[in-house]
Every structure is written in C-alpha cells, then in structure tokens.
Amino acid sequence: MRRLLPTLLVLSLGLAALLMGLASLQQIFIEERDEAQQRVEAERGALQEYARRTLEQLLETALHGAEAEIGLALADPLASTSDLLLVVDGRQRFPRPVSYAAGEERSARALYLALRDGAEIVVADPNSPWAERLSLYRGLRAALRGGGHASITQAFRNFLRHRTRYVIDIAHDVPSTIAALDEIYERAEPDPELVSALVREGLRDGEVAVIEGLQPSLLRRRERFTAGDFAFLAGRVIALSERSQTPFEDFSRQIDEVPTSPLALPATVPVPSLVLDGGWYAHTDAFGRIVGTKVDLSRLMTEIDQQMRERALIEPDDSLELPELVGMSYALATLPISVSAPRFALRLADAEDNYRIKSIFLVGSVGLALVIVALATVLASRKQRFVELKNDFVATVSHELRTPLASLRLMAETIERRMAGLPAARDYPTRMVREIDELAFLVENILSFNRLDKGRWRPRTESVALAALVEDTFRDLSQWSSKPVEVRRTGLDDIVLRADPDLLRLLLRNLGKNACAYCERDKVELEVRGAVRRGWRGGVVTLFVSDNGVGIPRKEHRRIFGDFYRGAGGNPGARGSGLGLAICRKTMAAHGGRIRIAHSSAKGTTFALEFPASSLQPR
C-alpha cells in the first residue's frame, strides 16, 4: 500500500485540480445565470420605477390642487371637503367630521318657538349678553308690531350690532337670529341683500368679518346641536334662503351628510405616502399639518398603463399591477408596483435551463473523472500486486537457493580436504567453492535488494568501528579476483558510526566486488579513507572508496545507481545482476546519507559515502 501512495497522491492532486477547475467553471455558470436574471430584474425594475414615478407625479399634481382647495375651504365652511384631507395638531379638519350632540332634547327648536310665540324666557343672569340679546329681540318684535320703518330699522340695527359685539352660545345665537329674520319677513319688507348676506356670506367691515352667515355658522358648529335641532334650524335657514333668493344647494348637500367619525390616520406622515388602504395621498407640510387628497388608484393605474403602452414601454401581453393596499401607510418609494410580462418569465426560464444543462455536464465530468481515478487506482493496485508477487517470488527463490548452495559448499570443502593429495584435481574443489560463493553472493544481493526495496529491512544500528569493519569485509576479497588484491586504509581508526553493520558490510562487499570485476590491470588496488567535516549546518562523515578500474563514463553517472543497470565498460565476462550499486544507494538512504561518484577516469573511480554528522559516535 505504501508503494501506491505516490500514485494515489498524484491522482488525488490531479483530481483536486480538476475539481477546482470544475468548481470555478460552475461558479462562472452561476454568475452567468445570475447576470441573466439580474438583467431581467433590472429591466423589470426600470419599468416598475417608471410606473412608480409617473404615479408619483400624478399624485403630486392632485395634491397641489388639493392644497389650493384646502386654503379656500378653510375660509368657506360651505365648500365640499369630502375629497380633502387636513389634520392640524392631531385634530381632523377635512373631511369635516359629521357629528351631533347626544340625546333627543330639542332645546334650539324650543327656543326658536318660544321666541316666535313671545313666551317669557328666564335667564339666570339678567346682566349677561344673552339677557341683553333677548331684550333687543323683544324690542324688535315691539317695533314690528307698532312702530314705523325707522323704528324697525333702528331696532334691527341694534340687534345686529349686539351680534358684532358679543359672542354668545351658538345654541342661542342661531335660533334667535333666525327667529328675528322670520319676524321681519312676516311683518315688514326686509332688504333682500342684507338678509342674503346674513344668511350666507355674513357682514364685513372691510376685510374683517363681523357677522358670520347662518349657513356656514350652522355647518361649522353642527356638533353643538342634536340631530333634530340641526335639521329644524337647517330647514328654517333654507326657507330664509329661498325668500331672499340666496343660493343654498351646497348648504343643502352638506346638511344631508351621514354622521361620520374622524379618519384613523397615522400620527405623522413624514414622507409622501398612500394612507388608509391606499384611498388617500398625504404628507406633512412645512407647518406640521397632514395635508392630502382622496385618490382613485385604479383609475390612475389604468392611466399609467395606457401611457406606457402608447410609448411602447410594455407589450400587449404585459400587465401593470398594484396589489390591494391594506394598512395605514405606504411610502411611494416602497410602493409594490409590479410588471408582469411573459417575456421576462421566458428569459428567466431560459437562463435556468442553460444553467441546468451546464451543471449536468459538470456533474458528468466529475463522475467521469472519478471513474478514471478509480480505474487508475485499480490498475496501479494490480501492478503493485504484480510487483509484490514478483518480489515475493524473488525472495522465496533466493531463500530456497541458499540451502542447496550451503550444502554444495560443505560438500565441496569436504572433497577439497579429501583430494588434497591428488595434483590433477586439486583445484576442482576450490573452483567449486568460488563458483558457489559467487552464486551465493548473487542470491544475497537479490534478497537484500528485495528487502530494501520493499522497506522490510530497517537498519539495526549499533556502534560500528569503520577500521575493523573494512578490514573484516575486505579480508577475503581476493577470492573474487584472479589477480592480486591490495587494500589500503587511512583515517579510519578514530571513526565510529551508529549504523547497521550488516548493511555496511554488504555495501562495501559490492564496491569491492565491482572493483575486482572492472579492473584490467595486473593488480587490483583499493583505498578506503575516512574524513569528518563539521560546519554550522551540522557537518558530514565521508568514507571515500577508490579503485583502479576502468572508470565510469560521465554520461552514466546518474544511471549507474539505478535498479538492474550495468555499466558498458569493464570485463565483458564479468557476471552480475546490476543490483550492486542500487543496493549501495538504498543502504545509504536507509542511514540518512547518500552515495555519489566523487571522481572517475580511466585510472579508476572514487565513490563518496556521506553519512550525516548525527551518526558519528564519539569514542
């Protein structure tokens, strides 16, 4: 499994890179869909904003007209205020709330009838303005019954002058004034213009109103009368209006209004808004008053829809919609006007379909990538299994070869001892032993390579004196060569390493055997020298092994340490597996070091075995 890790790592990195790329592509697809949706919504929003601004302009135009009407209505109680809105200091002025005094008592009618009948009216305070008014009324009745025109005129002037000077209760003032005018019409010929003014416009002194007309006065203070009293007094005012040929149609319309309560308006309307379920358009003016006008949203939206169609802003299948407004207040800036267009829905559906198709493609790509990774993993696993089976086979064969080789060597040695006295066959056993050792060494290399390659040989470190190890390893080196062998050692006496002696011995035996196999001189010369170099980065312990062989071409320096690789030079008849230097490389790697070619020429090759300074053990 460990051998699969590089393959799995590469596949994982490739898959991760692919997934990242696909994720980026998916993000691009999402952005394309969102941009398409945003374009549709931006176009829809522009149409909705156009409709909202057009509605705002229409409402503002209506409100400006209403403000002018409100100014006139404030001065004229007869003006219609059903479409106007005015709230001052929290009190609704327009539309004028219609209400009456509670109860069924008809005191105003009773007062009028008592005055007309000449009945005695008791006043609690004889010095009050109301007592004076009654006295002037009696004087007017007396002048009408026995006086001349001058006395009647004077008595009526005194009555009117008292009205200009004193403000008395409207429940007394209006009935007494109506009774006085009815008395005059019955017993004299009043001035029609004066009566008309008293009934409608009132009397003025220049720009100042000194007496309010009966029509506006009665309407303005409607709530002071019971419904019955108001109806009776209004009927008498209409009768006076008809006698004096005074207009009363607007007065008649307003006296027929149904009693209403003030509108349930919000306390403030800080920005122009539609209030009361969208039935009114209002805002708070510079004086803190709520000013507004009644609106017909359905008619306005129809007008806007027609205008937008004329300008080709919306198509025949499009529709402009304003949902039913339920609530106290809706600011124009947030008015929920919507444009419903089939073309927008089609474009949104196309954008979503395109995104879905591309997403399916990406999902398929991810699935295909996973299948490829799975197949590659299976193939790598099978290959690794094959390699492991091969290695197991090599290990088994090598192990099985050891036993017969040992038996052969034992028998050869026995024969050698027994045939020592026969000169013709004396070298046969020796040659048999040499061939057996050669074969045993080859098997040992194959077995050691297999164990190192599979990571089964973990270095068992102990103190190793290099001088003794080199002497012991190269003691029998001559058996690998038909030529004399000379080994020189320098600088090794003081070097002791923490290392695996079996691995180091195998490494040196391979270097020594190669030196014997690739030497064309009369004598094989080997030199082993040690060197310790320390530095601020930790230092290194180097063991230099030099031979006098044929050398290694420079182009093969990197390949020479590869598995099963054999150099082109040397003795053509030399046998080997191509594993010797590969075992040396793996052995140095197992010790945290490395092997390299320090120098090579036709005069020989020098290998440098570099151990980390941490492996050096002080003596």
pLDDT digits (tens, 9 = 90+) for 366-378: 888 888 888 888 8
Q: What's the rounded Cα separation, in Å, for the pair 217 and 205?
A: 18
CA neighbours within 13 Å on the CB side: how many for 574?
21
What are 332's two structure tokens? 């124009």
Q: pLDDT category, 129, cuts 50, 70, 90? A: very high
Say if residues 548 and 601 touch (Cβ distance below 8 Å): no
pLDDT value for 176? 94
Percent of the chain whose predicted confidence (pLDDT) is above 70: 84
Average pLDDT over residues 203-229: 87
What are 74's two structure tokens? 């404030």
Summarised one tens digit per residue, pLDDT across range 498-519 is: 888 888 888 888 888 888 888 8
pLDDT value for 540? 86
CA distances from 202 to 128, 160, 175, 198, 242 (A): 24, 11, 16, 5, 17
CA distances from 402 to 166, 326, 462, 542 (A): 145, 101, 27, 34
Average pLDDT over residues 575-592: 78
Q: pLDDT category, 5, cuts 50, 70, 90? A: confident
Quick check: 580 pLDDT over 60? yes
Q: What's the rounded Cα separation, in Å, for the pair 303 and 89?
A: 36
To the nearest whole number, what is the mean pLDDT of the chain? 83
Average pLDDT over residues 370-396: 71
Q: pLDDT category, 268, cuts 50, 70, 90? A: confident
Summarised one tens digit per residue, pLDDT across range 395-452 is: 555 555 666 667 666 766 777 666 666 565 555 565 555 556 555 555 665 655 555 5
Q: Which of 215, 171, 175 is nearest to 78 (CA)?
A: 215
Q: Which of 125, 198, 189 is nearest to 163 (CA)?
A: 198
Buried b (16+ CB within 10 A) or exposed e, 252-282: eebbeeeeeeebebeeebeebbbbbebebbb
Percent of the chain whose predicted confidence (pLDDT) is above 90: 29
Domains defined for the chain, CATH in brackets: 84-89+269-339 (no CATH), 98-255 (no CATH), 458-615 (3.30.565.10)
Average pLDDT over residues 290-302: 92
Quick check: 564 pLDDT over 80? no
3-state helix, strand, coil in the chain (%, to 5): 55, 15, 30
Average pLDDT over residues 241-254: 91
**Higher per-residue confidence, 278 vs 572:** 278
Residue 535's SS3 state is coil
pLDDT value for 9? 81
Quick check: 155 pLDDT over 90? yes
- The one-letter amino acid code at 429 reads P
Quick check: 591 pLDDT over 90? no
